[in-house]
Amino acid sequence: MAALLKVLLRVAEKAANVARVCRQEAPLFELLVQEKTGDDKNKKFVQDFKTLADVVIQEMIRHYVGAEFPEMGGFIQGEESNKFENGLGESVVVTVCASETETAALLEAVLDGDSTAAALLAKAIHQDPAAVDNTLQNTGDLSIPHSPSELGIWIDPIDATSQYIEGREMVLEEGHLSPSGLHCALVLIGVYLRSTGEPIMGVINQPFNYKDPSGRWQGKHFWGVSCEGVRACSVSLPESPAEGTGLRAVLSSSEKPAVKKALASLCGPDNVTYASGAGYKILCVILGLADLYVLSEGSTFKWDSCAPHALLRALGGGIVDYTESLGTPEPRGAQLTYHQPRTQNKGADCWANQGGLVAYLDCKALGTAIEALNLKP
């Protein structure tokens, strides 16, 4: 298990490098932020490039994890497909080739002949990341009784893409939730058990955590394991709040007014915050910056929640289905699972967290929120 975790931390760091390179290298950055003006071909091409960053990162993760653990090959899925159609109607299957030169040649076809951009991207894909393993020193024994052939993976190559593209730079304050900006963009890799759908391991990489004195972005990563009595997490459980402190909820700004109202009466209006990114909102709960993330609609997917769900479980919390948890006396039992598609839905919606979700660390907080939400009109 420790071997799989190390590989995931490494590929997540490679993914973060690709995400940073797309913003730091001028020829790629220009493609990313170009105003949508000009002729139709240009408009479509800019749209393509935004998707391409996601497609390339996901394919890279799939390639490297599949190479280390071939038994997982067919069960490494994510938000994107590797078939990429550019604005000119050409269809290219994005793959990571054996050499940087071959990958660059393939990307050049997707990038409409832009060899500089293709070479920069290929370099980031093939470059080895700086060592990230030293955080694993204090994890004790991570061995669990499951082989890679029993596991599946969900990837969101970049969550909160809109924040990634917009690129607002924030200086994060320790212990504070910052509602929007580049730091909301996260690489999410979650591992689940194929038999039960439980999320058992998760890696979250935040490519834009702070700028070093030379002005380069540095990232931060978080991981957790929770399986058959083995629990380990890179994040420590936050200190319990002082007696009488109210609950704090984080929501999507597009949340329904009735839910906003119910939580504002429970928590107090100042303790309800709105933030971007489904992954970032769950990370806020993991870090103790919020007690609850409530989402009443099916606008997230398995790749959004699998990785952070594993971290919450490692800390004693979880993510339940919002709709199911409202209808049961034991909301904790309504945990999201990751192995079964909703076959009545089409395309990506097969993998939607259709009933919405509630992410929590402390089950008392979950119970109190569900009670309040059950009372709303």
Catalytic residue ranges: 54, 79, 156, 158-159, 161, 304
Tell me if 156 contacts Ca ion by CB under 5 A: yes
Which of the residues 293 through 322 are near Ca ion (CB under 5 A)?
A: 304
Cα 240 to Cα 128, 249, 332, 362, distances in angstroms = 40, 16, 20, 10
Considering only the stretches 29-37, 126-134, 158-166, 230-238, report the one whose residues sit in contact with Ca ion under the rule CB under 5 A.
Answer: 158-166
Range list of β-strands (E), 308-349:
318-321
What minimum distance in Å lies between the beta carbon of 135 and Ca ion?
A: 25
Contact between 25 and Ca ion by CB under 5 A: the answer reads no
Sheet with 249-251, edge to edge strand ranges: 272-274, 249-251, 292-295, 357-360, 318-321
> For residues 1 and 250, which CB has a smaller minimum distance to ligand 2IP in the complex?
250
Residue with the closest Cβ to Ca ion? 159
* CB distance 79 to 156 below 8 Å: yes
Rounded-to-integer distance, Cα 221 and Cα 186, Å: 9
**CB-nearer residue toward ligand 2IP: 79 or 198:** 79
Letters for 33-72 (x = contact with Ca ion by CB under 5 A, - = none) are ----------------------------------------
Residue 277 partner contact from Ca ion, ligand 2IP, none using kind-dependent CB cut-offs of 5 to 8 Å: ligand 2IP
Q: Which residue blocks in the chain are alpha helix, DSSP H? A: 2-24, 26-33, 40-68, 100-110, 115-126, 161-166, 257-267, 278-286, 302-314, 322-326, 363-375
- By the rule CB under 5 A, 159 interacts with Ca ion: yes
Q: Which residue is nearest to ligand 2IP (CB)?
A: 252
Q: Smaller CB distance to ligand 2IP: residue 221 or 302?
A: 302
Binding site for ligand 2IP (CB under 6 A): 79, 156, 159-161, 252, 254, 276-278, 299-300, 304
19-28 core/surface letters (b: 16 or more CB in 10 A; e: else): bbbbbebeeb
Q: Do 264 and 250 form a contact (C-beta atoms < 8 A)? A: no
Binding-site residues from annotation for Mg(2+): 79, 156, 158-159, 304
Strands annotated E in 170-248: 186-193, 199-211, 217-227, 230-233
**Minimal distance in Å, beta carbon 6 to ligand 2IP?**
25
Half-sphere exposure (Cβ direction) of 370: Cα atoms closer than 13 Å: 27
- 349 phi/psi in degrees, rounded to 5: -65, -15
By CB under 5 A, which span of 5-13, 159-167, 266-274, 333-341 interacts with Ca ion?
159-167
Could you give the CA distance from residue 336 to residue 136 in angstroms, rounded to a whole number?
Answer: 27
For residue 189, the cross-strand partners are 155, 203
Take residue 86 and report the two structure tokens written for it.
């550019």
**Cβ distance to ligand 2IP smaller for residue 77 or 276:** 276
**Pick 159 or 297: Cβ nearer Ca ion:** 159
Q: Look at residue 160 and give the partner it binds from Ca ion, ligand 2IP, none, a contact being a CB closer than 5 to 8 Å depending on partner kind.
A: ligand 2IP
What does the binding site for Ca ion look like in residue numbers (CB under 5 A)? Answer: 79, 156, 158-159, 304
